[in-house]
Structure 1
Amino acid sequence: MRISLNTVTVKERWGLAECIEGAARHGIPGIAPWRDVLQAMGVEAAARQIRDAGLIVTGLCRGGMFPAADAAGRAAAIEDNRRAIAEAHAIGARCLVMVCGGLPPGSKDLPGARAMMRDGLHAIMEEARAAGVTIALEPLHPMTCADRSVLSTLGQALDLCDELGAGSGIALDVYHVWWDPDLARQVARAGSRIAAFHVCDWKVPTTDTVFDRGLPGEGVIDIPAIRAMVERAGYAGGFAEVEILSRSWWTRDPDDVLDEIKRRHQTAV
Structure 2
Amino acid sequence: MALENLSINLATTRGSWGFAEAVDGCLERGITAISPWRDQVQAIGLEEAARIVHSNGLRVTGLCRGGMFPAETAEGRKAAIDDNRRAIDEAAALGADCLVFVVGGLPQGSRDIDGARQMVRDGFEAILPYARSSKVPLAIEPLHPMYAADRSCVNTLKQALDLADVLGPEVGVAIDAYHVWWDPDLAEQIARAGRDNRIFAHHICDWLVPTRDLLLDRGMMGDGIIDLPAFRRMIEAAGFHGPQEVEIFSAENWWKKPGSVVLDTVIERFATVC
The TM-score bracket by the shorter chain reads over 0.9
Aligned residue number for residue 129 of structure 2: 126
What is the number of equivalent residue pairs in this alignment? 268
Determine helix, strand or coil for the equivalent of 1:196: strand
Is 2:139 the partner of 1:136? yes
Indicate which of 56, 62, 65 corresponds to 2:68: 65
Whole-Å separation in 1 of the counterparts to 2:273 and 2:201: 18
Distance 1:27 1:252 in 2: 21
Residue in 1 aligned with 2:202?
A: 197
> Match of 2:184, as an amino acid?
P
Q: Which residue matches 2:97?
A: 94
Q: Would you say the 8 A contact 2:97–2:137 is kept in 1?
A: yes
User: Counterpart in 2 of 1:183?
Assistant: 186
Q: Please tell me whether residue 18 in structure 1 is matched to residue 26 in structure 2.
A: no
Q: Which runs of 5+ in 1 are unaligned?
A: none
Instruction: Report deviation, 1:44.
Output: 1.0
Task: Tell me whether 1:208 sits opposite 2:213 in the alignment.
Answer: yes
- Which secondary structure does the structure 2 equivalent of 1:8 belong to? coil
**Once the two structures are superposed, what CA deviation does each residue of 1:73-108 show, in whole Å capped at 9, x if it has no partner?**
000000000000000000000000000000111110
Q: Tell me the distance in 2 between the aligned counterparts of 1:129 and 1:216.
A: 35
User: Cα RMSD (Å) of the superposition?
Assistant: 0.8
Task: Note if 1:221 corresponds to 2:226.
Answer: yes
- How far the C-alpha of 1:149 sits from its partner, in A, is 0.1
Query: What residue number does 2:247 align with?
Result: 243
Letter in 2 for 1:195: F
Indicate conservation of the 8 Å contact 1:129/1:166, yes or no.
no
CA distance in 1, matches of 2:143, 2:134: 26
Tell me the equivalent position of 1:110: 113
Q: Which residue of 1 aligns with 2:273?
A: 268
1:217 alignment partner AA:
G
Q: Which residue of 2 aligns with 1:46?
A: 49
Match for residue 37 of structure 2? 34
TM-score for both structures, normalised by structure 1: 0.98
**Aligned-partner residue type, residue 216 of structure 1:** M
The reply to whether residue 233 of structure 1 matches residue 238 of structure 2 is: yes
Report the alpha carbon displacement of residue 54 of structure 1 after superposing the two structures with TM: 2.0
- How far apart, in 2, do the equivalents of 1:54 and 1:254 lie? 22
Corresponding residue SS for 1:224: helix
Could you list the structure 1 runs, at least 4 aligned residues long, displaced by more than 2 angstroms after superposition. Answer: none
Residues 47-56 or 167-176, more deviating: 47-56
Q: Does residue 152 of the first structure (1) align with residue 155 of the second (2)? A: yes
Kindly provide the CA deviation profile for residues 162-188 of structure 1, in whole angstroms up to 9, marking residues without a partner as x. 001121110000000000000000000
- 1:2: Cα distance to partner? 1.1
Amino acid aligned to 1:116: M
Task: Answer whether contact 1:21 1:53 (CA < 8 A) is retained.
Answer: no
**Partners of 2:15 and 2:257 within 8 A in 1:** no
- Tell me, in whole angstroms, the C-alpha distance in 2 between the residues paired with 1:43 and 1:96: 15
Describe the SS at the equivalent of 1:67: coil
